[in-house]
Structure 1
Amino acid sequence: MPCGKCTITLQDVAVQLGLPMDGEPLTGSLRYNWKVIYEDFLEIVPPDMKGQRLSLPWLEKQFEELLPDADVVSIQRYARAYIMQLIGGFLFTDKSNTLVYCMFLQFIFDFYQADTYTWGVVTLTWLYRELCRVSHAQSLEIVGPLMLL
C-alpha cells in the first residue's frame, strides 16, 4: 500500500478478535415470529418488543444471576443471553447502544454449530457498513466494532 494508506482486513479481525473467517455464512430469513423464537431460545418473552431488536438492559435484568442448582437447559439459556449481550454491546452495536438484533439468536441456538459461521467476516462487514453510514453529512456518531480501528 502507498505510504499513509491502510485498511482493516480479515486477518486483522482474526488476530485481534479470534473470530472465524471461513465457514458457513450468517444468512437466513428475518421473517420469524420473534415471540416464538424468544420462548424457544430464552424461555421468556419481552414485554415491549422493538421490532426485530431486543433490549439489552431488559436482557441483562432477566438473566443476571444463574441459580447454583440450574439444569443444563437453564445454563444454555443464560449462555445465549450473555452471548446476545456481547453481540449487541460489543460486536454489532447500533446507535441506541441498548438494542441487539434478534437475527443473531438463530446462530447461537446450537453451541456446537455456532463456531462454524463466519463471524469475523460479518464483524468486518458491519464495521464497513457503519463507516459508510457515518460518512453522511447528517450523521453525528459512529458505532460498530470500533476496537478494530
Structure 2
Amino acid sequence: MPYLELTRFGSTTLIWTIDLRYDLISTLVERWRLKTHTFLLSCGECTVTLEDVALQLGLPIDESTITGRNTIAEPATLCYSLLGVSPNNAGSKFTGLRFSWLKANFEHLSINATEQEVMCAAQVYIMYIIGGVLMPDTNNNRVHLMYLPLLTDLQNVRSYSWGFAILAMLYRELCRTTSLML
C-alpha cells in the first residue's frame, strides 16, 4: 500500500469494491452525443470533466502527458528487466500482458519478499488497475504493455497525468461505441 500511495494509485484500489450497473452504463452510452461530447439527460446536458476524474480517482491531471508507444522493440526483455519474468508463449512481438499470466506469476507475495519483489508486485497491481478498470481493452483480459515502462520508477509514476489519459480513453470509447450503434 505505501507504494500505491507513493504513485497516487492508492485510492483507485477502492474501485474494485464497486458493483457496476451495466443497465445504467448502457443508458448513458445511448444518451452520449458525439458532436457535443455530452450526455443528453431529461434535466439537460452534462459531461465528465477532468476535475471529476481527479476528484473521484485521486489521480494527477496536470502533470506530464502520457503518450504511449503502440509497439515496444523487445517486449520480452522489458518484462524480464522490470518484472523478473516474461511470458514464454507470447512470441517476440506481444503487445500486452494477460491477466491470467499476471495472476499466475504475481498473485502471492512471499512473507520474506525483498523490497524489489514488493515494488514489482506494486507495478503489477497498478497494471491490473489500468487494464482491468481504468483503461480496459475490448476483451478485458489483458493490459497493454505500453504502460509498463511508465511504472519503472515508482517515485516517478505520479509525475504523469493519468487522469487526463483516462478521460481521453473514456471519451474515445464512448464515441466509438456510439458510432457503432448508429
TM-score range, shorter chain: 0.7 to 0.9
Give the drift of 1:132. Answer: 1.4
TM-score, length basis structure 2: 0.71
Structure 1 residue runs of 5 or longer lacking an equivalent are 140-149
Give the drift of 1:28. Answer: 4.9
The amino acid that maps onto 1:11 is: E
Over the residues paired in the alignment, what is the CA RMSD in angstroms? 2.0
| Structure having the larger proportion of residues in strand | 2
* Aligned counterpart, 2:158: 115
> Which structure's CA Rg is the greater one?
2
Q: Greater CA deviation, 25-34 or 96-105? A: 25-34
* Aligned counterpart, 1:145: none
The amino acid that maps onto 1:39 is: Y
CA contact (8 A) 2:68 2:147 kept: no
The amino acid that maps onto 2:172 is: R
* Identity fraction in percent: 37
Counterparts of 1:101 and 1:107, CA distance in 2 = 12
The amino acid that maps onto 1:15 is: L
TM-score, length basis structure 1: 0.86
Q: 2:96 aligns with which of 47, 53, 64?
A: 53
Counterparts of 2:117 and 2:55, CA distance in 1 = 33
Structure 2 residue runs of 5 or longer lacking an equivalent are 1-37
Q: 2:179 aligns with which of 132, 136, 143?
A: 136
| Count of aligned pairs between the two proteins | 139
Q: Greater CA deviation, 17-26 or 47-56? A: 47-56
Matched, 1:75 2:118: yes
Structure 1 runs (4+) deviating above 3 angstroms are 28-31
Give the drift of 1:124. Answer: 0.0
Q: Deviation per CA, 1:110-141: give whole Å up to 9, x if none.
A: 011000100000000000111111023369xx
Counterparts of 2:116 and 2:180, CA distance in 1 = 48
SS of aligned partner of 2:104: helix
